[in-house]
């Protein structure tokens, strides 16, 4: 298995991000429709936030950096809703049962 990107199952996605120092299921998470997992990693200023969505054939992994970590400053985090940062998305073909 390649270590430069997660595999095609929820377990391998979880192992990948856990191995990179991410925590799963952030406490202040508001899940979006279709979202099956979430990860975060604090930064000195803000955090990296990963959301995982399941589709029929793929896992869509959306990554963005919040300028304010909602765990440290929930009110300040509202700035990320007003002026969101760049989002990247990758698709991983699912290898698990539907």
Q: Does residue 1 belong to any structural domain of this protein?
A: no
User: Residue 59 contacts by C-beta under 8 Å, 6 or more apart in sequence?
Assistant: 6, 8, 10, 13, 36, 52, 53, 91, 92, 94
Please give the pLDDT value at position 2. 47
Residue 4 is assigned to a structural domain of this protein: no
Give the chain's residues under pLDDT 70.
Answer: 1-3, 77, 81, 83, 97-98
Strand, helix or coil at 42?
A: strand
In a domain, 68, yes or no: yes
Quick one: pLDDT at residue 59? 96
User: Domains in the chain: how many in total?
Assistant: 1
Per-residue pLDDT, 1: 44
User: Is residue 3 one of the residues assigned to a domain?
Assistant: no
Residue 88 phi, psi dihedral angles, 5° rounding: -120, 150
**DSSP letter (8 states) at residue 19:** H
Model-wide pTM > 0.75: yes
- Quote the domain boundaries for residue 71: 10-93
């Amino acid at each position: 298995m390649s270590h430069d990107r997660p595999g095609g199952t929820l377990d391998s996605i979880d192992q990948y991000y856990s191995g990179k120092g991410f925590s799963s299921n952030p406490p202040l998470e508001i899940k979006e429709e279709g979202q099956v997992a979430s990860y975060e990693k604090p930064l000195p200023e803000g955090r990296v936030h990963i959301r995982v969505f399941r589709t029929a054939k793929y896992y869509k992994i959306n990554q963005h950096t919040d300028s304010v970590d909602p765990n440290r400053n929930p009110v300040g985090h509202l700035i990320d809703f007003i002026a969101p940062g760049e989002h990247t998305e990758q698709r991983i073909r699912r290898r698990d049962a539907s």
